[in-house]
């Protein structure tokens, strides 16, 4: 039994198939497509553009316009030569016989007799009669790969490719090296427009026992199979490029959002009080991301020169809004002062990209203004 989550996944997959049946032509779903066909289902073919019979079909997929966001597109159809493709036969599966039944010499001889009658009917063009004789033969000898392969070849003559595939599968089940089984299945798949699968089967048949008919069918099958493969590679490449573009755009958007967040935390034109090491680290990282000069002003309430410099420091923050002005009270945040080895106040440390690049010690208004101008314009 399937659990609720599996059923939900299956339901979503079916909804996808309803909205885009071409998903079934994905190579990874060949097993599922074959299963549907074995039940008599009709799988939509990859459509080709109508052209004059005299013009050879070429693969020239065209793109539909991209969506406004620039990273979605619709696949074009592959232009294929489907002139010999037939409508699938959706009749009930033919009798296969019981593979566990005992096959006596008498039954084997009777099966051979039915096969002989079938060959006579084939020579007279009586394909349905031949199928009846071969059906009797497989019922008598249900594990004979050659009988199933022979009946498959007659189903092909009767334009019943799905029935031929079922017989070819049974033949290959009993003899995995049945050249006739691969050949019949390959031709049947070509009749259904399953070009890639047909090419694979026909090449296997050719390697096992080549004949001229296989070569003739391959001349028709291989160009279509190659067009489909080229089409798939093209769109796989485009999808990969699209994914890379989307990832790069998302990376840029994330970076821009981080920069906006960092800039918002820096309070342009204001002096920001620091109360802990972690708070200082956060502001230092934000200034680095925003490529800003950061000034760290160490002060104390009992410091006379600091009381003189503090108003000036606030005015400088207003004059240089792109510079980050921080203030640390060494008594309140003594851990910060200790980590910077502050021995006297006021002290002004200049930080660029997380590293100290300069320092002013004492109430030196001129040096402070000169170094702010120097370092704020250095990058």
Residues involved in catalysis: 303, 306
**Per-residue CA distances from 379 to 180, 288, 303, 314, 323 (Å):** 77, 12, 33, 23, 12
The tokens for 75 are 């696949």
> In Å, how far are 116, 154, 167 from 136, measured between CA atoms?
12, 14, 14
Distance between terminal CA atoms of the chain? 67
Taking the mean position of all CA atoms in its chain, how far away is CA 280? 44
Least Cα distance to 171 among 198, 134, 116, 206 occurs for 134
Q: 150: closest CA among 97, 103, 114, 124?
A: 114
Structure tokens of 69? 């966001």
Distance between CA 30 and CA 85 in Å, rounded? 19
Q: 3-state DSSP call for residue 242?
A: helix
CA 332 to each of CA 2, 298, 300, 338: distance values in angstroms, whole numbers, following the listed order:
64, 11, 9, 12
Instruction: Please give the C-alpha separations between residue 96 and each of 127, 142, 236, in angstroms, as whole numbers.
Output: 18, 7, 41
Using alpha carbons only, what angle is made at residue 57 by residues 53 and 58, rounded to the nearest 5 degrees?
155
Q: Is-contact 133 111, C-beta < 8 A?
A: no
132: which 2 tokens? 């009846």
3-state secondary structure string, 330-372?
CCCCHHHHHHCCCCCCCEEEEEECCEEEEEEECCCHHHHHHHH
């Amino acid at each position: 039994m399937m659990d609720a989550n599996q059923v939900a996944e299956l339901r979503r997959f079916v909804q996808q198939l309803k909205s885009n049946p071409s998903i079934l032509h994905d190579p990874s779903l060949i097993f599922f497509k074959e299963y549907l066909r074995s039940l008599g289902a009709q799988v939509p073919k990859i459509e080709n553009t109508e052209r004059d019979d005299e013009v050879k079909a070429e693969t020239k997929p065209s793109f539909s316009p991209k969506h406004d966001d620039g990273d979605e597109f619709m696949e074009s159809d592959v232009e294929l030569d489907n002139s010999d493709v037939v409508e699938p036969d959706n009749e009930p599966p033919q009798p296969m016989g019981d593979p566990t039944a005992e096959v006596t010499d008498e039954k084997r001889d009777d099966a051979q007799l039915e096969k002989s009658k079938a060959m006579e009917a084939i020579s007279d063009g009586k394909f349905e009669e031949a199928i009846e004789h071969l059906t009797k033969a497989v019922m008598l000898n249900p594990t004979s790969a050659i009988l199933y392969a022979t009946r498959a070849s007659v189903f092909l003559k009767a334009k019943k490719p799905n029935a031929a595939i079922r017989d070819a599968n049974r033949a290959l089940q009993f003899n995995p090296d049945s050249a006739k089984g691969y050949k019949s299945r390959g031709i049947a798949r070509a009749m259904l427009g399953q070009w890639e699968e047909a090419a694979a089967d026909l090449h296997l048949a050719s390697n096992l026992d080549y004949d001229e008919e296989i070569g003739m069918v391959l001349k028709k099958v291989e160009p279509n199979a190659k067009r489909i493969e080229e089409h798939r590679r093209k769109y796989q490449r485009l999808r990969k490029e699209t994914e890379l573009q989307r990832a790069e755009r998302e990376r840029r958007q994330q970076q821009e959002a981080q920069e906006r967040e960092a800039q918002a935390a820096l309070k342009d034109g204001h002096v920001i009080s620091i109360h802990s090491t972690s708070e200082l680290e956060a502001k230092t990282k934000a200034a680095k991301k925003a490529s800003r000069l950061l000034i760290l002003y160490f002060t104390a309430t009992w410091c006379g020169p600091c009381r003189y410099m503090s108003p000036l420091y606030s005015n400088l923050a207003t004059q240089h809004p792109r510079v980050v002005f921080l203030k640390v009270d060494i008594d309140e945040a003594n851990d910060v002062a200790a980590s910077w080895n502050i021995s006297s106040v006021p002290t002004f440390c200049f930080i660029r990209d997380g590293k100290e690049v300069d320092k002013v010690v004492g109430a030196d208004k001129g040096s402070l203004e000169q170094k702010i101008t120097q370092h704020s314009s250095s990058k």
